[in-house]
């Protein structure tokens, strides 16, 4: 994709993220219509409406690029390019009125057969914070360059975590949390993977790790983190876009794995 197309893709990603963010703000204090829920997850009717609005905006500029979203898939998402979208990341927070949720929009393209993220936008409508990145360029927050932290000691690190949505992922991540708590400054479990990724990119936290997080939660944040000098270690763990992720400032993964490795955590 030419650089002019990437620039156009970034512009429409931002338009789509802000458009859905506006819908989140407008509905924040309204009663929420729940489409489905489980013990550790909620899906709102607004998720679907936001996904539709994002898809409409994206395809107004790129009518032939398919959309892989948490709420729906439009077109053949195995083609050369695809949008990867989470219309509301942090849906449980949003449902309960906790103002920590965002919109995540990424453009991916195939390189040697594998998808890589080329453009990413994460928008937090509550703080009016927009993170953006184009592969090969510096990540930005509200138009200003950002960089990961330079903390090298785990004991200084703030580690954010997620437990995904299943009892099985909870069982995997609880031992990780118990092993890390005595070793780090603080653990934070904030409920939005995309915001956790961009907080590492911005130096607000130092590590984010989750097992069973979905591609649409992390695609944009992963590029933004890499374009801010961080490391986005990830591996696919099932055939439904599930990932094990260790996002960090590029200085801390080895130390983290010394601790979690004892749990044979890297083997699951």
Binding mask 79-108 for ligand LIP (x = CB under 6 A): -------x--xxx-----------------
* Cβ contact 205:193 at 8 Å: no
Contact between 69 and ligand LIP per CB under 6 A: no
Q: How far is the CB of 121 from ligand LIP (least distance, A)?
A: 16
Only segment of 12-20, 150-158, 159-167, 177-185 that touches ligand LIP (CB under 6 A): 159-167
Using CB under 6 A, pick the residue from 74, 192, 248, 249 that binds ligand LIP: 192
Pick the closer one to ligand LIP by CB: 109 or 212. Answer: 212
How far apart CA 174 and CA 155 sit, in angstroms, is 19
Using CB under 6 A, pick the residue from 71, 124, 217, 231 that binds ligand LIP: 217
- At 77, is the secondary structure helix, strand, or coil? coil
Pick the closer one to ligand LIP by CB: 1 or 19. Answer: 19
Cα-trace Rg, the chain: 17
How far apart CA 13 and CA 122 sit, in angstroms, is 9
Q: How many CB atoms lie within 10 A of CB 111?
A: 10
Q: How far is the CB of 85 from ligand LIP (least distance, A)?
A: 10
Pick the closer one to ligand LIP by CB: 164 or 200. Answer: 164
Return phi, psi of residue 82, to 5°: -160, 150
The H or E element containing residue 232 is strand 231-236
């Amino acid at each position: 994709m030419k650089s002019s197309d990437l620039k156009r893709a970034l512009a429409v990603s931002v338009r789509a993220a802000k458009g859905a963010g506006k819908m989140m703000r407008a509905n924040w204090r309204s009663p929420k219509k729940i489409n489905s829920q489980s013990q550790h997850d909620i899906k709102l009717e607004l998720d679907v409406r936001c996904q539709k609005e994002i898809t409409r905006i994206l395809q107004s500029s790129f009518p032939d690029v398919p959309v892989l979203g948490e709420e729906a898939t439009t077109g053949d998402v195995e083609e050369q390019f695809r949008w990867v979208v989470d219309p509301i990341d942090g849906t449980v927070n949003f449902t309960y009125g906790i103002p920590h949720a965002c919109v995540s929009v990424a453009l991916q393209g195939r390189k040697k057969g594998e998808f890589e993220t080329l453009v990413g936008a994460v928008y937090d409508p509550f703080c009016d914070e927009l993170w953006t990145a184009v592969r090969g360029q510096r990540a930005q927050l509200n138009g200003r360059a950002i960089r990961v932290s330079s903390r090298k000691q785990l004991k200084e690190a703030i580690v954010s975590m997620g437990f995904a949505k299943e009892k099985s992922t909870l069982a995997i991540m609880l031992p990780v949390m118990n092993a890390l708590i005595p070793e780090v400054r603080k653990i934070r479990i904030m409920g939005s993977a995309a915001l956790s990724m961009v907080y590492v990119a911005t130096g607000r936290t130092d590590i984010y790790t989750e097992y069973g997080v979905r591609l649409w939660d992390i695609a944009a944040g992963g590029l933004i983190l890499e374009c801010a000098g961080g490391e986005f270690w990830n591996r696919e763990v099932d055939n439904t876009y599930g990932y094990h992720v260790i996002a960090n400032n590029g200085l801390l993964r080895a130390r983290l794995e010394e601790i979690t490795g004892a749990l044979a955590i890297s083997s699951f």
